[in-house]
Amino acid sequence: MHPLAEKRKPGRDYVRLDVTRLASGAELRLGLHVVTGAKAGPTLGILATVHGDETMGLMAVRRLLQELDVKTLSGRVAAIPVANPLAVSVFNRQTPEQHGKTDLHEVFPGHPEGNLTQRMASVITTHLLDHVHALVDIHCGGLGGRLQSRADLDAAASADVFEGSLKLCRAFNTTFVHANNLAGTAARYCNARGVPTANPEIGGVYLGPQAEAAYIEEAVAGLRSIMAAIGMIAAAPLPPKKQLLFKVASRYEVNPSVGGFLQSHFTAPSDLGRRVEKGTKLGEIVDLHSLEVTEELRASVTGYLFFSRYSGTVDAGTKAFALAEEATSTWL
Ligand SMILES: [Zn+2]
C-alpha cells in the first residue's frame, strides 16, 4: 500500500519503505514522514540527501516537520530525509555498488529490477513522486567544503511548469536561481507530470557551527516560504528579494587543472553573491610535494560568485568556484 495513496487522519506518520535485502543481510529501507493537516490542500514532497555527502538539508527538514502545526496545516508534507542511505553511510555522493548508474540524481524514475540506485529511485517514484503537487529536492555543498546558495529549476520544463517552478524557487529566496539541466532527476520526472519543483543548493557540510546554523535557518525559512506560497500555511512568503536568474550557458566554473592544496580567497557565506571582475584571483593551488604554487585560479568572466570552496586538498577538475556571468544573467 502506498502511504500517500490513502486518505489519513490529521497527524504524523512515519513508515519505512522496503527496497531490498542487502548482501550484508541488512534490509534496505527508506524512511517516509507524512504530516497530514486538518485542512485540505496540496501535497508537498521533500527529498533530502539524494547525494550522500549533502547531509545539511535533512536537519532543516527535521526542524520544518517539528515546527508544523497539524491543526493549521492545509494539505500534506511528505518527506524522505535520506533518499540514498547507502551513500550517506559512507559519506559519499554516490551509491557504493559495482554496477554503473550509481548517482541517484541521474536515474529517475529508476527501475524496480535495476541496480540498488535504480531500485531506490523506483521506490521514491512510486511512493512519493507520483503523489505530490510540488517537490523540493534539497542539496548542498558536500564532501570537501563547498558553499552554495541557490535554487535550481529545470530549463527543459514546459513554459507552465517552468513558471510554477520559478515561483517555488523565488519563494525559497536564495540570491541565485539557476535554470539548470536536470536530466535524470526527480525534478525532471515530476515536471513531466506537470508538477513544479525547486532544487535548492544551500549551505554545505562541516562549515563550522555559525555558518551551518545560519544556513539551516535559511533553509527552514525557505521551505516555510514555499509552503506559504502554495497556500499550505497561513503565513506570507518571504518578501521577494532581488535574485539573479542564470542559465547553463552563463555558468562559468573555475576549477584546478592540477591537484594540490587550494588556498581559497572566498570562504565566507557573504562571499556568495559578490560581484567579481574578470581576472580576480579566487585562489591558488600549492603542490603538496614541492610546496610551490603551481596554479592561480582567476575569474574567467565578470559575474557573481554562486559557489566557492573552502581551502583544502583538491584534485584536477574538483569543482572550486563558479560565476554567473553578469552580461548574460537576468535580475528578477
Ligand atoms: Zn547534490
The DSSP letter of residue 139 is: B
Q: What is the pLDDT of residue 145?
A: 83
Asked whether the beta carbons of 2 and 126 are under 8 A apart, the reply is: yes
In angstroms, what is the span from residue 200 Cα to ligand 1's centroid?
A: 9
For residue 64, the one-letter residue type is L
Q: What is the pTM of this model?
A: 0.97
Q: What is the pLDDT of residue 243?
A: 95
In angstroms, what is the span from residue 260 Cα to ligand 1's centroid?
A: 24
Rounded average pLDDT over 327-331: 97
pLDDT, tens digit (0-9, with 9 covering 90-100), for 266-287: 999 999 999 999 999 999 999 9
Q: Residue 239: which residues within 8 A CB-CB, separation 6 or more?
A: none
In angstroms, what is the span from residue 39 Cα to ligand 1's centroid?
A: 33
Q: What is the pLDDT of residue 185?
A: 98
pLDDT, tens digit (0-9, with 9 covering 90-100), for 3-53: 798 888 999 999 999 999 999 999 999 999 999 999 999 999 999 999 999
In angstroms, what is the span from residue 286 Cα to ligand 1's centroid?
A: 27
Considering the chain, what is the average pLDDT of its residues?
96
Residue 326: helix, strand or coil by DSSP? coil
Statement: residue 1 has pLDDT above 70: no
Asked whether the beta carbons of 175 and 191 are under 8 A apart, the reply is: no
Q: What is the pLDDT of residue 230?
A: 98
In angstroms, what is the span from residue 55 Cα to ligand 1's centroid?
A: 10
Cα angle 166-170-171, degrees, rounded to a multiple of 5: 120
Cell digits for 260? Answer: 594540490
pLDDT, tens digit (0-9, with 9 covering 90-100), for 170-194: 999 999 999 999 999 999 999 999 9
Min mean pLDDT across 1-5, 167-171, 309-313, 320-324 is at 1-5
pLDDT, tens digit (0-9, with 9 covering 90-100), for 94-152: 999 988 999 999 999 999 999 999 999 999 999 999 999 999 999 999 987 888 999 99
In angstroms, what is the span from residue 107 Cα to ligand 1's centroid?
A: 13
Torsion of CA 157, 236, 42, 54, to 10 degrees: 60
In angstroms, what is the span from residue 139 Cα to ligand 1's centroid?
A: 4
Asked whether the beta carbons of 271 and 147 are under 8 A apart, the reply is: yes
Statement: residue 201 has pLDDT above 70: yes
pLDDT, tens digit (0-9, with 9 covering 90-100), for 82-110: 999 999 999 999 999 988 999 999 999 99
Question: Is beta strand 244-247 parallel, antiparallel or unpaired with respect to 330-331?
Answer: antiparallel
- Indicate the pLDDT class of residue 208, thresholds 50, 70 and 90: confident
In angstroms, what is the span from residue 94 Cα to ligand 1's centroid?
A: 10
In angstroms, what is the span from residue 50 Cα to ligand 1's centroid?
A: 7
In angstroms, what is the span from residue 299 Cα to ligand 1's centroid?
A: 24
